[in-house]
Amino acid sequence: MYSEKVMDHFQNPRNVGEIEHASGMGTVGNAKCGDIMRIYLDIDENQIIRDVKFKTFGCGAAVATSSMATELVKGKSIQEAMQVTNKAVMEALDGLPPVKVHCSLLAEEAIHAALWDYAQKHQMTIEGLEQPKSDIGEEEEEEEY
């Protein structure tokens, strides 16, 4: 059911932990399952992501996607990190079962929330970045409200 890459990142997740005095930190919850993800970013003066760590109360797919997502944004510029969508992460992992796709949103949204936090602290705008929601869900669910 899971690709070898998913199993590898689940069993040996990269970049787990936290960063003290992080440049940006973002926490999001997944409205579908109640799981939580927190991402810490260390961004240098040239706006390059020097280091990134994550912590999650999430399922195996959330762990694997976050691990891959952190690998994909590490060493990248903020604009490059904005291109790391949940789709890009899933592709890098050779896919996820359809019922687990919502789990991959946690990492993307938490990275965006951490970038938002960084932008707020530096009074800057990041192109394409919107204010994060604390709870993420699928679009159609949000329309019910």
Q: How far is the CB of 95 from ligand FES (least distance, A)?
A: 15
**Size of interface with ligand FES, in residues (CB under 6 A):** 9
16-55 binders of ligand FES (CB under 6 A): 30, 33, 35
85-104 binders of ligand FES (CB under 6 A): 103
CA pair distance 56, 18, nearest whole angstrom: 11
In DSSP terms, which residues pair with 136 in a beta bridge? 30
CA pair distance 93, 102, nearest whole angstrom: 15
53, 58, 84, 108: which one contacts ligand FES (CB under 6 A)? Answer: 58
Q: Is the dihedral of CA 49, 54, 58, 61 positive or negative?
A: positive
59 in active site: no
Candidates 2, 15, 29; CA nearest to 72 is 15
- Binding residues (CB under 6 A) for ligand FES: these are 30, 33, 35, 58-59, 61-62, 103, 106
Question: What residues are annotated to the active site?
Answer: 33, 103
